[in-house]
Amino acid sequence: MSNQRARQLLDQINTLAPSNPFKIMNVCGGHERTINLAGLRSLLPGHIELIPGPGCPVCICPEETIAMAIAIALNEPVVVVTFGDMLHVPINTARGEPRSLEQARAAGANIHPIASPLEARTIALRHPTQQVVFFMAGFETTSAPTAALIAEGIPDNLLLLLAARRTWPAVAQLLNRDQAGFDALIAPGHVSAVMGSDEWRFVAERHQRPVAVAGFDAASLLAAICSVTQQAINGEATLVNSYPAVVTPSGNRHAQHLIDQTFTTVDSRWRGIGTIPASGYALKKKYRLHDAHIHFSKYSAQSHHKDEMPPGCDCAKVILGKEPPDHCPLYGTACTPSNPVGPCMVSDEGACRIWWSSGLHKQRRAKQA
């Protein structure tokens, strides 16, 4: 049924002809993965361009926070736990110093990959005399479970090093620039499941750009692409929910309540982008004893990282949607999943990693001319 619906939508999209090249940005690694695995770019008409944007929380995690996690792990008698792909994210360091948590682990630091915040609690309960630091990078979909972990009863010896980010302020930041670089937005399905589709209404109402929430099958994505393209042709800009089986206008209100009770909204840095107002979560003061940013603040003060990407790496342009992954001079040459240079080649949510994993192993150098 999904395939039949997808074919119908493709036929419909192919009858649409925007007057100008039409750029549609997505901000979700899951969407980018479906686009690649289903081969949607090759199936769509040439005037419709799909652009991956800032949809990978590990990729935009500030260098300074990764450096802090490395310093804590190397210098304190703690266990650092973090989601697996964060272990391999490289940062700029002085020669000879660990460039990633993986290298810090090789140097003797006690660092464990986890797949759920619940594992952080389990490890903390199993080692009650040792401090456990949960280094968490994630968007709202992971922020809500992390808030639940805390609200449910956090062990005394569990601290959080938060790099939690909110998705919509990053999109707002792009739209507030002179050249946003995209004409329509596909809003993230799982973030919207938690926060509600209404969160994306500003894209249409304040910035006059069509926006559609999409799910993760090809038909849902094509429905969203069809919707925003048709809107543009009609001169309209509205919010459409193409994932109604999962996403409601208001989302999961209890999840939002937990977030509000646990976190405060703060201006936050995004690697490759800079500081974005109200784009991150920090622990509320009542949880300050669990805040690794406060407890280990001496390592924050030592950090001189500027959140730059490694030399020669175009991850910043990729994250901002200014350049496709394969236009980076390092893509597939110096930078591969087995030897990543930039964060976008590390994470499963990173555009470079997704493009590589879907079989695009060569640069389209001709398009750079």
Partner 1 sequence: MQITEIDGDLASCHSGGITRTVNLFIFERGVLKPGDYVLVHVGYAIQKIDPEAAQLAWETEREMQGAIRGDPNA
In the block, tokens 């809107």 appear at 231
Cα(65)–Cα(127) distance, integer angstroms: 24
60: left (phi over 0), alpha (psi -120 to 50) or beta: alpha
Cα(341)–Cα(309) distance, integer angstroms: 9
Angle (CA) 66 133 266, round 5°: 60
Per CB under 8 A, 215 contacts partner 1? yes
Cα(84)–Cα(223) distance, integer angstroms: 33
> What pairs with residue 163 in β-bridges?
137
Name the one range near partner 1 by CB under 8 A: 199-207, 226-234, 249-257, 347-355.
Answer: 249-257
Name the one range near partner 1 by CB under 8 A: 54-62, 155-163, 203-211, 212-220.
Answer: 212-220
Residue type, 94: A
CB nearer to partner 1: pick between 43 and 294: 43
How many DSSP H helices and E strands does the chain contain? 16, 11
To the nearest whole angstrom, how small is the minimum distance from the Cβ of residue 93 to partner 1?
Answer: 29
One residue of 18, 76, 201, 216 binding partner 1 per CB under 8 A: 216
Residue in 67, 78, 68, 129 with CA at minimum distance from that of residue 108: 78
Per CB under 8 A, 245 contacts partner 1? yes
Per CB under 8 A, 258 contacts partner 1? yes
One residue of 152, 156, 260, 267 binding partner 1 per CB under 8 A: 152
One residue of 16, 151, 233, 266 binding partner 1 per CB under 8 A: 151
Size of the site for partner 1 (CB under 8 A): 33
Per CB under 8 A, 2 contacts partner 1? yes
CB nearer to partner 1: pick between 190 and 271: 190
Q: Are strands 263-270 and 111-114 parallel, antiparallel or unpaired?
A: unpaired
To the nearest whole angstrom, how small is the minimum distance from the Cβ of residue 151 to partner 1?
Answer: 7
One residue of 43, 148, 233, 294 binding partner 1 per CB under 8 A: 148
Cα(109)–Cα(265) distance, integer angstroms: 31
Extended beta strands in the chain, E state? 22-26, 48-52, 78-83, 111-114, 131-138, 158-165, 184-187, 211-213, 239-241, 263-270, 274-283
Residue in 174, 236, 246 with CA at minimum distance from that of residue 216: 246
Per CB under 8 A, 145 contacts partner 1? yes
6-45 positions binding partner 1, by CB under 8 A: 33-34, 37
Residue in 23, 44, 53 with CA at minimum distance from that of residue 183: 23
To the nearest whole angstrom, how small is the minimum distance from the Cβ of residue 1 to partner 1?
Answer: 8
Compose the 347-366 pattern: x for residues touching partner 1 by CB under 8 A, - for all others: ----------x---------
Tokens of 158: 């569990």
Per CB under 8 A, 213 contacts partner 1? no
Per CB under 8 A, 301 contacts partner 1? no
One residue of 31, 88, 166, 190 binding partner 1 per CB under 8 A: 190
To the nearest whole angstrom, how small is the minimum distance from the Cβ of residue 39 to partner 1?
Answer: 9
CB of 34 closer than 8 Å to CB of 353: no
CB nearer to partner 1: pick between 126 and 298: 126
Instruction: Tell me the Cα Rg of the chain.
Output: 21
To the nearest whole angstrom, how small is the minimum distance from the Cβ of residue 281 to partner 1?
Answer: 15
Name the one range near partner 1 by CB under 8 A: 57-65, 201-209, 210-218, 328-336.
Answer: 210-218
Please provide residue 38's backbone torsions phi and psi, each rounded to the nearest 5 degrees. -85, -5
Per CB under 8 A, 166 contacts partner 1? no
Contacting residues toward partner 1, per CB under 8 A: 1-2, 33-34, 37, 115-119, 141-142, 144-145, 148, 151-152, 190, 193-194, 215-218, 245-247, 251-252, 254-255, 258, 357
